[in-house]
Structure formats: C-alpha cells, structure tokens
Amino acid sequence: MIPKAQTQVITIVLISGIVISLLGTAYMWGIPLITKRTSITEFLSAEDFVVKLDQKIIDISASESGETTLDMPDGLIRVYSYDALDPLNNSLIFEFVTDQPLSTTNSNVILKTSILGDNATYGEAEPRIMSMSTGSYATGSKISLRLRYRELDTTTQPFRGYQISLVAGSISGTEQVILSYAGTEVNPGGKKAMNGGDLFLTKIKVDAV
C-alpha cells in the first residue's frame, strides 16, 4: 500500500505532467495559428491601403488637380505607366510577403470589383479592376494586389471615353506614396475611345519615397 503522503506527491507529479503536455501542445499548434492570423491581418491592412490609394487616385482624377500622400504598410510599390510596353501597363501593384501562405495554391482572384472587362460603361463600372495574386516566396508567400485602370465609355451622345492614365514617377522608397495630377490629354496619339468618340486621358503621377 502506498502511503498517503507519497500518493499526494505522485498526484502532483501526474497533474504537472499533464499541464506541461497541454502547454506543449498549445505551443506547437498555437504558433501556426498566430502566424496565420498575422498573415490575415497583414492582408487586410494591405487591402485597405490599396482601396484608399484607388479612392485618392479617383478623387484627383475627378477634380483634375491636386496632390496627396498616403503612408505605406510594409511592402513595395511597382507602377507600370499607361504607355508601357508591358502586359501590366497602366497598373499599380503593391507587394508584400507573409510568413505563412494564405492559399495552398498559387492563385489570381478579383477583389472588390463588380464589373469586369477592359472596357465598361461610364457611370456604372469602377474605373479600376482590383485583383490579388499569390505565389511562393522562401518559406512564406508573396501577395500582390493590383489596380489596373480601364476605359469607361458613355452610351449616349456625345460619345466619349474616359480613362485614368498612370505615370510612373520615382519609386525610391517604402514609406509614402505621393499621387499628383499630371494633366489631361484628348485623343492621345490620335487614339479614339472604343465607342468612336473622344478619349479623355487623365494622368496621375505616382511616386514612392
């Protein structure tokens, strides 16, 4: 028969062992969950930044004047001008890296955009198409949020087309993005709107410091 005092000691040891085991399990599974939650928080912060960036671009374009700045979250900006000889032309891309993938496969999805297409109806569709692509990066994932600006055409007389034209400025930093009005062109290079009317191109210059 085991003495009462010894039984109490054994009980304490067993309880301690169970507690340590549970803590170990929480530690092993808690880190990935915390990392995942951090990745989602980083994504939401980046998405909010890109949405605000788009709104400021639209505001400057509508007023045809002004300059504004926006603080950047952790990440990098890439800008492809309207006339760039690149499939990504007239796009702004914000990229950042997370410790853990948000998706198990590389993907490309449309975000916060109700109407698709390179040409849409003025007054109905957003000037931009917003999308997200993901890819592997070291032990984590690289996420790219893209704003691409398309032509919006009127459907009644006088036929006209409107488009925001991005101009890549100096992309030398990761602290702030500076957006500024850079003029408006009508029928640039003789190009007309897709509805046959005049094409109004509003230039927005993008710098990063």
pLDDT higher than threshold 50 for residue 11: no
The token duo for 130 is 């917003």
Report how far residue 109's alpha carbon sits from residue 149's, in angstroms, rounded to the nearest whole number.
16
Q: According to the 3-state scheme, what is the secondary structure of 71-129?
A: ECCCCEEEEECCCCCCCCCCEEEEEEEECCCCCCCCCEEEECCCCCCCEEECCCCCCEE
- What are the sequence ranges of the domains in the chain? 4-208
User: Would the pTM count as exceeding 0.85?
Assistant: no
Q: What are the pLDDT digits (tens) for 78-133? A: 999 999 999 999 999 999 998 876 666 667 899 999 999 999 999 999 999 999 99
Please tell me the predicted confidence (pLDDT) of residue 156.
Answer: 94
Mean of the pLDDT values across residues 193-202? 98
pLDDT higher than threshold 70 for residue 3: no
Please tell me the predicted confidence (pLDDT) of residue 41.
Answer: 87
Read off the amino acid at residue 23: L
Q: What are the pLDDT digits (tens) for 14-24? A: 444 444 444 44
Q: What are the pLDDT digits (tens) for 147-184? A: 999 999 999 999 999 999 999 999 999 999 999 999 99
Beta bridge partners of 102: none
Backbone torsions φ then ψ of 105, nearest 5 degrees: -135, 155
**Contact residues for 181 (Cβ-Cβ < 8 A; gap 6+):** 60, 61, 63, 64, 65, 66, 67, 202, 203, 204, 205
